[in-house]
A and B are shown apart, each in its own frame.
Chain A
C-alpha cells in the first residue's frame, strides 16, 4: 500500500505549483521516494532470482561440481588410494566400452528399469484412481500406500532376498508344494530381474500413486459430472478425462522413474551378500558396475574406469530422458488440446 502511494505523490508535484514549505525536507522526501521506487523496481526484477538462488548455488556445489570433477577423473589413471596418476585421455572410456561386463550391466539396468517402471506406473494409476473415490477413512488408505516407501531399501532387500532364495526360499517352497519346479531366482537372468523389480515396485508404487492422486484431486469435478450425464462409464471417464488431465504429472513421474530406474543400486546390491551381481553378472546394474570398479572387489579401485562408466551412464540417462519426454508429450497431447 505505501509503495503504491509513492508514484501519486511524484505525479502530483508538478501540478501543484505552490513552493514547498521547507526545501531540504521536501527534497529529501522526493529523493527517498525515488530511491524506493528504484528499489521496488530492482525488487521485482531481482528478488525472484535471489530467492531461488540457494538451490542453484547448492546444486552447483553438490551436483554440478561432482559431475564435472568426475569428468576430469575419467581422463586420468586414478586409483582409489594412490590418487591422481597420468593423463590418459579417452583411454578409460575406450576400456569401459570394450568390457563385456559393461554391456551386460547396461542390459540389466534397462531390463530391470522396464520391468519395474511400466507395471509401477500402471499400478500407481489404478491405485490412485481407487483412492480418488469416496472412501471411508480416506487418510488411512492414502497414508497406507506410502508405508512401503518408508521402509529402508536395505530392509526390503533383505526380506525379499530371503523370500527369493533358490533352495530354501519361501516362494520356491510354495512352488514345490504345488508340484512346480523351483525357479532360479539368483541363477537365471530374467527371474533375478523380476525379483529385483518386485522390490522396486513394492517401494515406489505407493509413492507414485500419491503423486497421481494429488494431480487427480486437481481435476475439476464438473468434467466428471458432465461425462456422467452424457452416460460415460467410469472406465471411459478414467481414459478420457483422468489420463489426459494428468499429462504434466505423467511426464514428471516417467522422467523421475527413468532416472531412478537406470540408477538402481540398493536392491540389486543387497540381493546377495557379496554384492557382485551374480557369478555371471546376471543382475549387476550399471551403478553396481561403477561401484565395483571404484570401490568394490572386482575392479580394484580404478576410479578412472569408474568415472568413465559414470559419465557414460549420465549420457545414457540424458538420451533416454529426452526420448521419454518426446514420447510422453506426443502421446499425452493427442488426448487433449487444453494447452497451458
Chain B
C-alpha cells in the first residue's frame, strides 16, 4: 500500500513536471534563479548567420557560467519545419531560435508562445521597419533583428569583358542604372555577344521585383490577392517574356544552381547582402566575381532574419540576454565581416568600422560602404508579408519554374495551375 501510494505521488509529480514543460511554463521566476548557476544555452540558425565558434566562445568568456551550443539547419525551409513542429509540441526548441522574415508573420500569430524581448537596453537598436515587423498586436517585441538584405547586383567581370561590356564596378553601376526594362535591355545586348545567360533564375528576379512593392501576395486584411493583383501578373508576364533569352534556366537552391556559381553560366545575379557569403562559398577559386552599387528601379530588400526566444525554454532570461548580445552592433559587425549579412542595427548603418569592410573575393569590393548605400536605398515602406506569404510565394516560384526550368507548361497554362494551387491554400 505504502509503495503504491508513493508510486502514485511520483507519477503525479512526473506528470506535473511534464505538463509544465509541455505548456511552456517556466518554473524559474526571475528572483529565484542563481546567476552563477552553470547552464547551457542553445542557438539554432540556418544557412550561415556568421556566428562562429570563436564568437560564441567570447560569450562564455564574459559569462563563465554559460556554455553556448549552436545547431545549423541547411535551409530556411528545414528550420521552419523544425520550429513549427516543436513550438506546437511545446518542447524541443533551442533557447534562441532564428526565424526568417518570410515566415515570420505566420509565427507572429502564436506570439504568446514566445518571450517578450522588449527592454530599455535594446530600445531603438534596430531600423524602424525591422523592429515594427517583430512587434505583435499587443505591442510585445518578440524578436531581435539580425540582418537585412539590401540588394545590389553581383556580376562576372570576366564575362562582361568577353562580351565587350565595361568591367569596372563604377562603370557597371552606371551602365545598369535605370529600371527593370533597362536591366533586361542591357541583358539582351550581352547575350547577343556571349554564350552565357544574363541572370541566374527567374525566381530571384520575381523576388527582386515583388520586394519593391508594398502589397503583393496578400492584402493587409489577410486575403490572398496574388492571383488577382495586377502587379504580380505583370511581373510574371514580364519576366517570362524575357526569360527565354536571358535566363540560365536554373531553379534557385537546386544542385544545378549551386554548380553554376563557379562555371560561368550567367553574368549577373541579384545580390542581397547575405548572398555574398553564399557566392564566395560556392564559387571558391573563381576569379571575376564583382559587385556593383546599383539595383534596377532603385533599391530593395530581400530577406533578413530575427532571433526569437521560445517561452518553452528552461532559461528564458539568460536566453534573452544572450540573444541581445548576439544582435548587439559589435557582434553583428563581426557576422557581417564573416558572411556579408548586413546588420539591421541603426548604429551600424553608417558606422566607420562597417564602412571600411572590404571583401577580397569580390575584387576587394568595399562591401561595407557599398551595402550601406544599398541599405539606405531600401524603400521605407516594407513589403507586407502576411500569414500565408511563404506558401503563396512557393506556389508562385513553382509556376515560374514550370515554364522557365522544367519547360513542361507555357506561361498561360502555368498561371492557370498557379490559380488552382492558390485555391488549395484557402
A273 in contact with B398 (CB, 8 Å): no
Number of A-B residue pairs with CB-CB distance less than 8 Å in the complex they form: 99
A301 in contact with B84 (CB, 8 Å): yes
B399 in contact with A165 (CB, 8 Å): no
Of the candidates A100, A165, A187, A275, the one having the most CB atoms from chain B within 10 angstroms of its own CB is A187
Q: How many residues of B contact A (CB 8 A)?
A: 43
A276 in contact with B424 (CB, 8 Å): no
Of the candidates A99, A101, A167, A274, which one forms a contact with B256 in the assembled complex, judged by CB atoms under 8 Å apart? Answer: A167
Q: List 18 A-B contacts (CB under 8 A).
A: A81-B88, A81-B113, A82-B109, A162-B255, A166-B256, A167-B256, A167-B259, A187-B408, A188-B406, A273-B253, A273-B254, A274-B75, A274-B77, A279-B402, A295-B81, A296-B77, A301-B84, A301-B88
Residues of chain B from 53 to 97 with CB closer than 8 A to chain A in the complex: 74-75, 77, 80-81, 84-85, 87-88
Whole-angstrom CA separation of A282 from B391 in the bound complex? 18
The 8 A CB mask of A146-168 against B (1 = contact, 0 = none) is: 00000000000000011001111
A279-B425 contact, Cβ under 8 Å, with A168-B256, A273-B75, A297-B394: no
Whole-angstrom CA separation of A296 from B87 in the bound complex? 14
Residues of chain B from 383 to 403 with CB closer than 8 A to chain A in the complex: 388, 390-391, 394-395, 397-399, 401-402
Nearest opposing residue in chain B for A297, CB measure: B394
Whole-angstrom CA separation of A111 from B51 in the bound complex? 44
A161 in contact with B85 (CB, 8 Å): no
A39 interface contact, C-beta 8 A: no
| Chain A hits for B249, CB < 8 A | 167
Of the candidates A188, A272, A275, which one forms a contact with B408 in the assembled complex, judged by CB atoms under 8 Å apart? Answer: A188
Of the candidates A79, A187, A272, A295, which one forms a contact with B407 in the assembled complex, judged by CB atoms under 8 Å apart? Answer: A187
Of the candidates A187, A278, A297, which one forms a contact with B77 in the assembled complex, judged by CB atoms under 8 Å apart? Answer: A297
Whole-angstrom CA separation of A101 from B250 in the bound complex? 24
B263 interface contact, C-beta 8 A: yes
Residues of chain A from 255 to 289 with CB closer than 8 A to chain B in the complex: 272-276, 278-280, 282
A280-B409 contact, Cβ under 8 Å, with A165-B256, A168-B256: yes
> Taking the nearest CB of chain A, how far is it from the CB of B67, in angstroms?
29
A80 interface contact, C-beta 8 A: yes
> Taking the nearest CB of chain B, how far is it from the CB of A108, in angstroms?
15
B256 in contact with A300 (CB, 8 Å): no
A81-B113, A273-B253, A298-B395 known; 7 new pairs, CB 8 Å cut-off, are: A81-B84, A168-B255, A187-B407, A272-B251, A274-B394, A279-B402, A297-B390
A186 interface contact, C-beta 8 A: yes
B398 in contact with A279 (CB, 8 Å): yes
A80 in contact with B85 (CB, 8 Å): yes
Of the candidates B75, B85, B254, B417, which one forms a contact with A280 in the assembled complex, judged by CB atoms under 8 Å apart? Answer: B417
Nearest opposing residue in chain B for A303, CB measure: B88
Whole-angstrom CA separation of A318 from B260 in the bound complex? 45
B77 in contact with A275 (CB, 8 Å): yes
Of the candidates B74, B398, B406, which one forms a contact with A276 in the assembled complex, judged by CB atoms under 8 Å apart? Answer: B398
A169-B405 contact, Cβ under 8 Å, with A279-B399, A297-B77, A300-B391: no
Q: Can you list the 9 inter-chain pairs with the closest CB atoms, starting with the nearest?
A: A187-B406, A279-B401, A279-B398, A81-B88, A168-B259, A167-B256, A80-B88, A295-B81, A279-B402
Nearest opposing residue in chain A for B405, CB measure: A187
B182 interface contact, C-beta 8 A: no
A272-B254 contact, Cβ under 8 Å, with A101-B424, A297-B394: yes
A81-B255 contact, Cβ under 8 Å, with A295-B81, A300-B391: no
Residues of chain A from 26 to 40 with CB closer than 8 A to chain B in the complex: none
Nearest opposing residue in chain B for A272, CB measure: B254
A169 in contact with B255 (CB, 8 Å): yes
> Taking the nearest CB of chain A, how far is it from the CB of B312, in angstroms?
12
A80-B75 contact, Cβ under 8 Å, with A187-B407, A300-B391: no
B88 in contact with A83 (CB, 8 Å): yes
A184 interface contact, C-beta 8 A: yes
A167 in contact with B401 (CB, 8 Å): no
Nearest opposing residue in chain B for A295, CB measure: B81
> Taking the nearest CB of chain A, how far is it from the CB of B323, in angstroms?
21
Whole-angstrom CA separation of A169 from B409 in the bound complex? 23
Residues of chain A from 174 to 212 with CB closer than 8 A to chain B in the complex: 184, 186-188
B110 interface contact, C-beta 8 A: yes
B420 interface contact, C-beta 8 A: yes
The 8 A CB mask of B405-426 against A (1 = contact, 0 = none) is: 1111100000001001000110
B408 in contact with A168 (CB, 8 Å): no
A273 in contact with B255 (CB, 8 Å): yes
Whole-angstrom CA separation of A166 from B401 in the bound complex? 13
> Taking the nearest CB of chain B, how far is it from the CB of A162, in angstroms?
6
| Chain B hits for A81, CB < 8 A | 84, 87-88, 109-110, 113
> Taking the nearest CB of chain B, how far is it from the CB of A280, in angstroms?
5
Of the candidates B74, B395, B399, B406, which one forms a contact with A186 in the assembled complex, judged by CB atoms under 8 Å apart? Answer: B406
A297 in contact with B391 (CB, 8 Å): yes
Whole-angstrom CA separation of A42 from B398 in the bound complex? 65
Of the candidates A188, A272, A274, A278, the one having the most CB atoms from chain B within 10 angstroms of its own CB is A274
| Chain B hits for A80, CB < 8 A | 84-85, 88
> Taking the nearest CB of chain B, how far is it from the CB of A158, in angstroms?
9
The 8 A CB mask of B251-267 against A (1 = contact, 0 = none) is: 10111100110010100
> Taking the nearest CB of chain A, how far is it from the CB of B36, in angstroms?
35
> Taking the nearest CB of chain A, how far is it from the CB of B192, in angstroms?
22
Whole-angstrom CA separation of A162 from B390 in the bound complex? 27
A296 in contact with B255 (CB, 8 Å): no
| Chain B hits for A188, CB < 8 A | 406, 408
> Taking the nearest CB of chain B, how far is it from the CB of A239, in angstroms?
43
A100 in contact with B409 (CB, 8 Å): no
| Chain A hits for B408, CB < 8 A | 187-188, 279-280
Of the candidates B88, B113, B253, B401, the one having the most CB atoms from chain A within 10 angstroms of its own CB is B88
B406 in contact with A279 (CB, 8 Å): yes
> Taking the nearest CB of chain A, how far is it from the CB of B399, in angstroms?
7
Nearest opposing residue in chain B for A294, CB measure: B85
Of the candidates A167, A186, A300, the one having the most CB atoms from chain B within 10 angstroms of its own CB is A167
| Chain A hits for B106, CB < 8 A | 300
> Taking the nearest CB of chain B, how far is it from the CB of A310, in angstroms?
15
